[in-house]
Structure 1
């Protein structure tokens, strides 16, 4: 089996004359945590939507495990093991934490549409659901109604629900967006923990998170790949500094407060 789990070749998306993603050649290595970073409007979320088939590319090819998935539908790629989260937490607010995870397990086990069965028939999934909640440190919240969870815990629940689908490749879109320092640290540790035996591709603006857990990063600017490699190598490239800070004399080091502020306040639109 190849070391490359996901690859794009010349991936391009044009919206009515505006090129949001331009000739992107991305290679994600199996087992890595790989980040897509870049300033506002760089094309990161659009790229995610192309990879998960919520958008159709204008041109280019997407390969997953060396198989061409360019023309497949979202449900087809999800069944193959590509599962994503979204910028806005996508959980069922009026179900309990346990029930949210159980929904994901139902789909995986093929019982999602057995509407005629008693809810008691789902009890057999509870042990599996609890095991997943333990992985994300939510076992103590199993009976909590999801709407009552703090925001950071909701993001952890979303990761647990994603794990219920047994993803081979997890795509996390802004997993720490809008969080305070404590929640950022908790979710960062969680991502590192659940990455064991999996591949993660994530869009993230907090450079402390990126530098701390990512094996490799790709920097997008104006829809094109500006640089790719290890964080320590890419972060000192003058063009990358300029893309984030507006001048090559500034730095993108994780400890630089200017880059942290810039990183946490960029890419607020859906074509990020």
Structure 2
């Protein structure tokens, strides 16, 4: 592969990314490369630095040192809104939909920015009616086509997460950051959301923090294991799951199955 082709295949890179909090190093010298069109999982025991790393990528935290390159551009010092406009979109651990709006209205809000009327609250609501068809199509994509008129608060937890993914898709992300997409779900909901992520990956790249290793094994093309703020191992699921250092970090022993 030529250098140019390699650059084209990489959508996100970090170089020496480090974050200190008053003498405590939460993230230390992280060098990460995410390939376009892949699902890249970030895993590790509690306190490994996964959420801090996500917060650095989305500019909710400023790095102490290091560099973040997204789509060939240095975004180390960019603003959160700026990277979102460039197609780097994050879905949070806790469902972030508007509970008392319908599923369709939630997606329609995400679509508003295409009309450039997001902050024009004095305009009549009917101006958004032109988005209904696209909002419905997005709901169909995530299996919520029959729930367009249902308020988000009335949806079961798994469907709320599907709605959140729908609102994320509506923002037309090139890179989706999914933070614990199956946290707190029943086995049935986990299966539903796992299948959903498989469906929406086409044309997109996903970086996901996920505690459920069965989900990681099913979805991830590449896995980075963090421990105490540093990269412990990288590779596919078979490679990292059989790594003695990874087993020790998770289980406290190298004898874990």
TM-score by length of 1: 0.91
Question: Where does residue 55 of structure 2 map in the other structure?
Answer: 49
Matched, 1:203 2:209: yes
Q: 1:216 aligns with which of 218, 222, 231?
A: 222
Question: Where does residue 3 of structure 2 map in the other structure?
Answer: none
Q: CA deviation at 1:114?
A: 2.1
Question: Where does residue 254 of structure 2 map in the other structure?
Answer: 248
Matched, 1:7 2:13: yes
| Equivalent position SS for 2:140 | helix
Using the alignment, how far apart are the partners of 2:30 and 2:39 within structure 1?
19
Q: CA deviation at 1:5?
A: 0.3
Note the alpha carbon deviations across 1:140-185, whole angstroms, 9 max, x for none.
1100011111111000000000001000000000000000000000
1:1-272 superposed matches below 5 A = 2-251=8-257
Q: Which runs of 5+ in 2 are unaligned?
A: 1-6
Using the alignment, how far apart are the partners of 2:72 and 2:119 within structure 1?
32
| Equivalent position SS for 2:162 | helix
Question: Where does residue 4 of structure 2 map in the other structure?
Answer: none
Is the CA contact 1:108–1:164 (under 8 Å) kept in the aligned structure 2?
no
Using the alignment, how far apart are the partners of 1:232 and 1:93 within structure 2?
40
| Equivalent position SS for 1:26 | strand
Q: Which runs of 5+ in 1 are unaligned?
A: 252-272
Aligned-residue RMSD, C-alpha: 0.8
Note the alpha carbon deviations across 1:163-219, whole angstroms, 9 max, x for none.
010000000000000000000000000011100110000000101100001100000
Is the CA contact 1:35–1:214 (under 8 Å) kept in the aligned structure 2?
yes
Q: CA deviation at 1:229?
A: 1.0
Q: CA deviation at 1:109?
A: 3.0
| Equivalent position SS for 1:92 | coil
Q: CA deviation at 1:108?
A: 3.3
TM-score by length of 2: 0.96
| Equivalent position SS for 1:175 | coil
Using the alignment, how far apart are the partners of 2:117 and 2:167 within structure 1?
16
